[in-house]
Structures are given as C-alpha cells and as structure tokens.
Amino acid sequence: MDFEAIMMEGTLILKIRGELDQYNADRFRLRFDMKIVSPEVQKVVIDISELTFMDSSGVGFLVGRFKTARAFAKELVLVCSSSYINRFLSTCGIEKLIKKYTTIDEALS
C-alpha cells in the first residue's frame, strides 16, 4: 500500500493505492492521524478507488480515521469507484457511518 496526500483549500485528500490489510493499516495509522488532526484541515476525503484488496482490518482502519476526524470536529468522507470494494463496504454497513461518493469531484462539492 502507498498513499498520496493532497491539500486543497482546507480539504485533505488521501489517495490510497494497493492493499489495505492488517499489515498496512498498522503501518499507516499514525501517519494518517497526524495529517487529519492538522489545524489547517477542515474536511478529509479518503479516496480508496485504487485499492486492489481490503479486509476487515481495512474497514477498522477507515472507521478509526473517521473517529479521529470526528474527535477533532472534521468531516470525513470516502471516494470509491471499485465495485468489489463497494460491495465489501456495503456488506459491512460502513455507509451508515461514513458518506461515500464515486468521484472526488462529488466529494468536494
């Protein structure tokens, strides 16, 4: 897994690529949280459209980042265009907790 962080007018866009499993979730948890709690960040968009695999640890990772953002009064949304990942997230019921969009443009509007 790798990621790219882009800051745009108070919105932090985190693009995640590759596999989001237990190993990678543990490696990147603190790095993501440090970016999310930054004072200039008002909204966080996590783009998981380029994930090739995600397991339950990945879902826990996303929920944890949501909780971090909420604790600092920041909005967090997901962008996902992968039908495989969307089905997995729907099965887990994550849409009840985190808003999900299919494009970054939708998430930013």
Q: Residue 109: what pLDDT?
A: 87
Instruction: Give burial (CB, 10 Å; 0-12/13-18/19+) of 66.
Output: buried
**Mean pLDDT split into 10-residue runs, the chain, 109 residues:** 93 96 93 95 96 94 96 96 91 92 95
The region, left, alpha or beta by phi > 0 then psi within -120 to 50, assigned to residue 26 is alpha
What is the Cα–Cα distance from 71 to 86, expressed in whole angstroms?
26
- pLDDT score recorded for residue 1: 86
- Please give the pLDDT value at position 41: 97
* Cα–Cα distance, 72 to 11 (Å, whole number): 14
Q: What is the pLDDT of residue 19?
A: 95
CA pair distance 19, 61, nearest whole angstrom: 12
